[in-house]
Chain A
Amino acid sequence: MQRFLRMITFPELREGLGVTLKWFVRPKVTEVYPDRRPVLPYRTKHRLHVEIETCISCGQCEKACPEGCIKVIKPPKEVFKEDKRPQEFFLSLDHCLYCGQCQDSCPTGSIHHSDEWELAAYSFKEYLFDKETLPYDLEKKRYRENFWGNVEDKTGG
């Protein structure tokens, strides 16, 4: 009798239907990307950002970079005594591994990975940055400041 009851009530089918119904009412996992931007995790590493104002042209990042995608050009000696900012700073982001070694080696904390992550481009030339294009809008990016603390503190004022 019990077997007959089991047979006519289809427990397997009901279980399957229950499982699908459970997933039906659960929240969905789809990221609605352009409408809702994802919350980036702490210490996320994306496009490199260089604060030219605090850079002292020491070239440590250039040495540390395993891919050799950074090129720092010091200013001439007489200028360097007064103003340590680099004369030119090249970065080719399409080689970048996002390893973070440059930001670890930087004595002033001028170079670091930012949270700008929408980097799709039509040509690899758009991944070549120089001194003018390398910094980006700081107003938008507060995350980095939370991570690194105040840059002034780090460089000793």
Chain B
Amino acid sequence: MEFEVLMNTVGFPLIKILILLGVVLTCVAYTVYVERRLLGFFQSRLGPNRVGPFGLVQPIADGVKLFLKEDLVPLFARRFIFKLAPIFAMAPALVGFSIVTFAPNWVGADGTEHSFVVADVNIGILFLLAITSLGVFGIILGGWSSGSKYPLFGSLRSASQMLSYEIPLTLSVLAVILMAGSFRLSDITEAQQQFFGTRGLYYIVPLILAFAVYLISAVAETNRTPFDLPEGESEIIGFHTEYSGMRFAFFFMGEYANIVLVSCVGTALFLGGYDIPFVSDAALYASHPQLTSILSLASFAAKCSLFIFFYIWIRATFPRYRYDHLLKIGWKVLLPISLVNLLLVAAIKAWPHFQDWLGGAAG
């Protein structure tokens, strides 16, 4: 009895966390590989294909290289904060995965259910927004503590960018929350399954505006091209100029973990999450629960991959925005659009109550 309680409160979550960390970090490493490979394809090249079959061992080679690199700390850096900043950049992205529901519950042989989520908290989205906001600290602290003026300017740029784009992002997510009526990601997925009959129409259709805003501001949040001013891979000097070796790798992996996270959340919010397209999930889950879990997981992964592919596609296509244009889009275009969209969704959701109220007033 004691053991079971301990297992349910500590053991299973811990195992889930370890599995999730392993999967996510592998995904992050291979997102880097896939991005390089696909960018190569987009530019009529082949990309990295020398290490192992199809270059699949490339992430490991990159990791070994970064591990073996010298880890420099500049003379005038604030040493403690300088070393803390990469962790601040990476940890929030990884913590954010804890609320993402990847599949419906796994029904074991003895009837016990295990959920495909570390913590299915009822304030999931709020928690996620709060945690991902912390990611900007890594950038600010990293740039400031480097003791060099260019990283400082880079971090100032990226701080204002990320703070500006967090608002449209949050507002676009709020529209989904209004539609679904819950902060919990699994509830939102189920609401999408029940939305408009039982199958096939996800929130991307009615909330296309919110989806567009989410897509653009998510690109800006994760510092990707065309909004990659914080780093500016080749031209601008970014916030992590003074970092090398493993600390730089932490920033890098944090960025890619953010991409995977944003793709997962976007999938859950707009693309129906783990719902299997063209199939009535509830009926299938009732008859074959384990098969449904696996298929749902595959469906989620496929949708997430689509999202990431779109990211890479955007990166291969668009040139970088000028800084004032970037802020202008954020404040003058995306924010009004998301506000209007939120208002519309609220009006549609409130319409029945409004009618009741009107009827009551008339009668």
Q: Which residues of A contact B (CB under 8 A)?
A: 13, 16-17, 19-21, 23-24, 26, 28-30, 32
Contacts and interface: CB of A to CB of B under 8 A. Distances in A.
A29 B44 contact: yes
B313 A23 contact: no
A20 B44 contact: no
22 contacts: A13-B318, A16-B317, A16-B318, A19-B317, A20-B42, A20-B316, A20-B317, A23-B43, A23-B44, A24-B38, A24-B41, A24-B42, A24-B313, A26-B44, A28-B40, A28-B44, A28-B46, A29-B44, A30-B44, A30-B45, A32-B46, A32-B49
Q: Name the 3 nearest CB pairs between A and B, nearest first.
A: A30-B46, A20-B317, A16-B317
A20 B38 CA distance: 11
A26 B40 CA distance: 12
Nearest to A13: B318
Contacts of B45: 28-30
Contact of A28 (B41, B313, B314, B318): B41
A79 B279 CA distance: 93
Contacts of A26: 44
A55 B316 CA distance: 59
B255 to A, nearest CB: 22
Contacts of B40: 28
Contacts, number: 34
Nearest to B319: A16
Interface in B41-62: 41-46, 49
A29 B46 CA distance: 8
Residue of B38, B44, B49, B313 ringed by the most chain A CB atoms within 10 A = B44
A17 B313 contact: yes
A16 B41 CA distance: 16
A95 B314 CA distance: 50
Given A17-B314, A20-B316, A21-B313, 7 more contacts: A13-B318, A16-B317, A17-B317, A20-B317, A23-B43, A24-B38, A30-B44
Interface string B301-337: 0000000000001101110000000000000000000
Given A16-B317, A17-B313, A17-B317, A23 B46 contact: no
A23 B318 contact: no
Contacts of A17: 313-314, 317
A20 B46 contact: no
Contacts of A20: 42, 313, 316-317
Contacts of B313: 17, 20-21, 24
A46 to B, nearest CB: 26
Residue of A17, A23, A24, A28 ringed by the most chain B CB atoms within 10 A = A24
A135 B298 CA distance: 61
Residue of B45, B49, B313, B317 ringed by the most chain A CB atoms within 10 A = B317
Contacts of A30: 44-46
Nearest to A19: B317
Contacts of A28: 40-41, 44-46
B217 to A, nearest CB: 16
